[in-house]
Amino acid sequence: MHKLGRIAIHEYRLNVFKRSFLLTLMSVPLIIALNVALGFYLESRGDDDSPVGYVDRAGLLADPIPAPVSGSREPLAFLPFSTEQEARTALESGQIQAFFAIPAGYPETRDATLLYLEEPGGSAIRQLYDFIQINLLADRPAGVARRAALIGEGVIKRSLDGSREVPDEGPSFGIIMPMLIGFAFLFLFLMNAGYLMQAVVEEKENRTMEVVVTSVSPGQLIGGKVLGVVAVGLTQLTTWAAVGIVAVVVASAAGIEWFQDASLDWDLILATVALAIPAYLCTAALMTAIGATTTSTQESQATGAIFFILHVVPLYLAWLIIDTPNAAVPTLLSFLPFTALLTVILRNIFASVPAWQVAVAVGLQVLYAAAALWLASRAFRLGMLQYGQRLKWRKLVKARPS
């Protein structure tokens, strides 16, 4: 174990202090910062609190009822104008951000016009429609009119077992967090494929492997290298998570509506992490095994994308997983290598995966990781006897243990 730890530390330092690693590490925070900045920009466009005018030729808004405003949105002022020319003058002078021209035949003709110089944000449009809608129902009791105007604002989609709720406007930050974690690990698979494939190829190419194996066993060498590269990936993930937390706090403090409810389902997050770590370890060991069976770095890197494709198979079957999350096929995919991570995440978004299935899935992923480490060690041991030749997987499976 002492030698395994030293190899892991050496592999970790070798990769972490590379300039390419530091550039990669900083690229994701920059992308997060750009996305947050874009969110600020879009939110600022949607939060224009300038008044909205209207020209009412139908007499619909002679005694207007104020529209209810839900969430954190600020109510807009609606200003009446006698003629469209007056409204145009106010629009051009910046007194209003838009105006609604209602013809005499409205609402029978359903023909009305919204005029603006710059398109209003989504919040202004929604409030304008609510304002028109509630006044169309002015002859109804006030409570009925208000409830009708709020239709679509408070609709919640709930799973049949009552364990999951998704607002009508889309998943909240807390709901999609497990999916973000899953994709972060998949991103690590893709980014670290080169490190994993080269774990033993370089030593084989420069002919230093004979010296290395006189001091450590193949199992210690492979195990140490895989653990070192996995630690590199977790370092990246931890850094990105810290930057993401800061970004969420800043966005929430700035009033961006999507981040106002940042409550997290820790059971889902823990289940995701418990699945992701052994799944990452399993993939890392298999990538290392491929590197041990090939004869050059270029040849080994060409196969790295295959593992990424295998992990995203559940996305191609998302329609089936979402429609029937607890059916036989989604349940089976939850227990298989490569597909378990995203399948369990998708199932947990729209239903509640039984705890025993999560436990079995985690246990199987640990077994897959152990088997992959054994296979990588075996591939390396046999590959040592065939310098310059490709090791066939059929021979790897059939060969007797030494």
Q: Region 216-231: what's the mean pLDDT?
A: 77
pLDDT tens, residue by residue, 31-47: 767 776 776 666 565 56
Consecutive H or E run containing 74: none
Residue ranges covered by each domain of the chain:
2-41+184-398, 49-154
- Please give the model's pTM, rounded to 2 decimal places: 0.61
> Rounded to whole angstroms, how far apart are CA atoms 242 and 193?
23
pLDDT at position 258:
61
What's the sign of the alpha-carbon dihedral 10, 11, 17, 19? positive
- Whole-number pLDDT of residue 152: 46
pLDDT recorded at residue 336: 92
Query: In terms of pLDDT, which residue wins out, 213 or 266?
Result: 266
Contacts of 157-165 spanning 24+ positions with Cβ under 8 A: 159/350, 159/351, 159/352, 160/351, 161/351, 161/352, 163/351, 163/352, 164/348, 164/349, 164/350, 164/351, 164/352
Q: Which of 220, 192, 219, 165 is nearest to 351 (CA)?
A: 165
Class of domain 49-154: alpha beta
pLDDT band at 334 (very low <50, low <70, confident <90, very high): very high
What the block records as the tokens of 282 is: 């399993």
Nearest to 189 by CA among 7, 363, 342, 322: 342
Most confidently predicted of 256-270, 303-317, 371-385: 303-317
Number of H helices, E strands in the chain: 18, 6
CA 348 to each of CA 56, 271, 303, 322, 342: distance values in angstroms, whole numbers, following the listed order: 50, 10, 31, 10, 10
Calpha distance 179→183 (Å, rounded): 6
99-142 residue pLDDT tens: 888 888 787 777 788 888 887 776 777 788 878 877 777 776 66
The mean pLDDT value of the chain amounts to: 75
Strand order in the sheet with 52-56: 78-81, 52-56, 98-102, 113-115
Distance CA 224, CA 213 (A): 13
More confident residue, 339 or 240: 339
Residue 373, both tokens: 């480490």
> What does the pLDDT average to over 307-323?
86
pLDDT tens profile 54-98: 888 888 887 887 776 655 556 788 888 988 899 999 988 888 888
| Closest by CA position to 50, among listed 115, 96, 92, 93 | 96
Average confidence (pLDDT) over 323-349: 89
- Please write the tens of the pLDDT for every residue from 245-276: 777 777 677 666 666 666 677 788 888 889 98
